[in-house]
Amino acid sequence: MRTISEQPDEDNATMDESDERTETDQPATESMAFDHDVVIVGGSAAGLAAGVFTARHGLETLVLRGGHTALLRCSLLENYLGLTNVDPADFLEVATEQARDAGCRVENRRVEQLRRNGVGFAVDTVDETITTRRVVAASGSENDYLEEIADGALYCGPATHDNLEYYVPCDDAGRTAVDGLYATGRLSGVEHQVLIAAGNGARVGLAVVRDSLRDAGLWDDLADHYHDWTVYPHRHDGWEIDDWLRERLPDDIDPDDDAVAERLAAYRERLEARTRTETEQADRLERGQELLEQYHDE
Ligand SMILES: Cc1cc2nc3c(=O)[nH]c(=O)nc-3n(C[C@H](O)[C@H](O)[C@H](O)COP(=O)(O)OP(=O)(O)OC[C@H]3O[C@@H](n4cnc5c(N)ncnc54)[C@H](O)[C@@H]3O)c2cc1C
């Protein structure tokens, strides 16, 4: 994946010749309607981190959890960066609130089965079937609900003492062989630490957002530029944003075409929405302090 720096004068990106998204007609969005944009199976370090990123982008995100949680088996979290010697149950509670603040719905419900449903998925829980365009599997050592999807291609047997290779095969960004299905955290085979599971969840959340942007007709160079950053007021003063956007279009795309201009305008709006006013910053700082204080509550 390409890395593109934020400011034009720092830009070290080159166009990827394999960029195939050149059409200017309607974006390749799915025609089906789903209950959610993303369902995340598992609401611990990896799943909640992924949800923070998808929900902050505005994707309707449902986190379902109900099953074994390795996080709650730690004695104290001594090795989490910037937050040391905390009770894992407190950590989970604060992380859950953070995900909710970001816009996730988090529900305690176990997923029984995952099935393909058009270009999306049907997620069977004990009492309801939920439809979604994308699924992030973040269920730690539990994978039985994946047993039937893709003719078992993603299922490597139950996690037991004899089978420590139960991970779901996926690329670095969590994409599996099934379009729209991602894996993250322990289930994807990353190292067995909370900090790493959370970091991996964030990476997979970003991949989900970027793929959604592609679905909405954005070209690779712009979709891959999405970083979920926020910036101080005036950070973008002097940035010729329209020129910057046009430079990132494939050569055969006409920036003055109405459909193209519309997509660029939507992306521009997103970039501008990253700037936080001083009041917004103060409000968020206060909420951040409030969450941190929960670590001291008895
Ligand atoms: C005994 C022990 C001690 C540890 N100590 C430390 C430590 O000190 N420091 C450290 O960094 N790491 C420690 N670890 C490792 C760490 O806990 C894991 O690497 C980390 O929790 C993995 O995060 P995860 O989100 O991938 O999975 P998990 O934390 O296992 O979370 C899995 C989530 O999936 C949900 N789930 C499972 N199945 C389903 C289903 N069918 N439907 C819906 N939801 C489902 C669960 O409810 C849970 O929310 C320890 C692990 C163990 C076992």
pLDDT, tens digit, 9 for 90 and up, residues 212-232:
999 999 999 999 999 999 988
In the chain, the percentage of residues whose pLDDT exceeds 70 is 89
Structural domain ending residue among the three candidates 187, 214, 241: 214
- For position 2, what pLDDT does the model report? 24
H or E stretch including 117? strand 111-117
Confidence of residue 26 (pLDDT cuts 50, 70, 90): very low
- Asked, for residue 44, whether it belongs to a domain, the answer is yes
Do 82 and 153 lie in one domain? The reply is yes
Q: How far is the CA of 104 from the centre of ligand 1 (A)?
A: 19
Per the model's pLDDT, the better-predicted residue between 241 and 28 turns out to be 241
Q: Are 140 and 186 in contact (CB under 8 A)?
A: yes
In a domain, 19, yes or no: no
Residue 135 confidence (pLDDT): 98
* Whole-number pLDDT of residue 18: 36
Q: Which of 160, 186, 214 is the endpoint of a domain?
A: 214
Query: What percentage of the chain has pLDDT greater than the value 90?
Result: 72
Same structural domain, 166 and 53: yes
Ligand 1 geometric centre to CA of 132 (Å): 24
Pocket test for ligand 1, best of 63, 65, 166 (most atoms within 8 A of CB): 65
Q: Is the pLDDT of residue 10 over 90?
A: no
Provide the mean pLDDT of the chain.
87
Residue appearing with tokens 């109900």: 66
Residue nearest (by alpha carbon) to ligand 1 atom 35: 42
Sole residue written with tokens 């037991």:
160
From 191, 214, 237, give the residue that closes a domain: 214
Q: Is the dihedral of CA 233, 237, 243, 244 positive or negative?
A: negative
pLDDT of residue 237: 81
Nearest CA to ligand 1 atom 38: 67
Mean pLDDT, residues 265-290: 91
User: What are the start-end ranges of the E strands in 30-110?
Assistant: 36-41, 61-64, 105-107
The pLDDT value recorded for residue 110 is 97
Do 187 and 104 share a structural domain? yes
Residue 80 CA to residue 238 CA, distance in Å, equals: 39
Please indicate, yes or no, whether residues 201 and 242 belong to a single structural domain of this protein: no
Residues 260 and 191 in one domain: no
Angle of helix 45-56 versus helix 88-102 axis, rounded to 10: 20
d(CA 258, CA 168): 42
Residues 79 and 36: beta-carbon distance below 8 Å = no
Question: Where in the sequence is the domain holding 103, given as residue range(s)?
Answer: 36-214
Specify the residue with its C-alpha closest to ligand 1, atom 21: 71
Choose among 105, 103, 98, 111: nearest CA to 49.
98
Q: Which residue's CA is the closest to the ligand 1 atom numbered 41?
A: 111
Count the domains in the chain.
2
pLDDT given for residue 12 in this prediction: 32
Task: Please check whether residue 21 lies inside any domain of the structure.
Answer: no
Nearest residue to 148 via CA among 185, 123, 118: 123
Q: What's the CATH number where 97 sits?
A: 3.50.50.60
Cα(183) to ligand 1 centroid in Å equals 14
pLDDT band at 235 (very low <50, low <70, confident <90, very high): confident
- Once rounded to an integer, what is the mean pLDDT over residues 172-189? 96
Asked whether residue 70 carries a pLDDT value surpassing 50, the answer given is yes
How close is the Cα of 73 to the center of ligand 1, in Å? 8
**ipTM score here?**
0.99
List, for residues 124-160, the tens digit of each pLDDT value.
999 999 999 999 999 999 999 999 898 888 888 888 8
50 plus 93 within the same structural domain: yes
Q: What is the mean pLDDT of residues 25-33?
A: 52
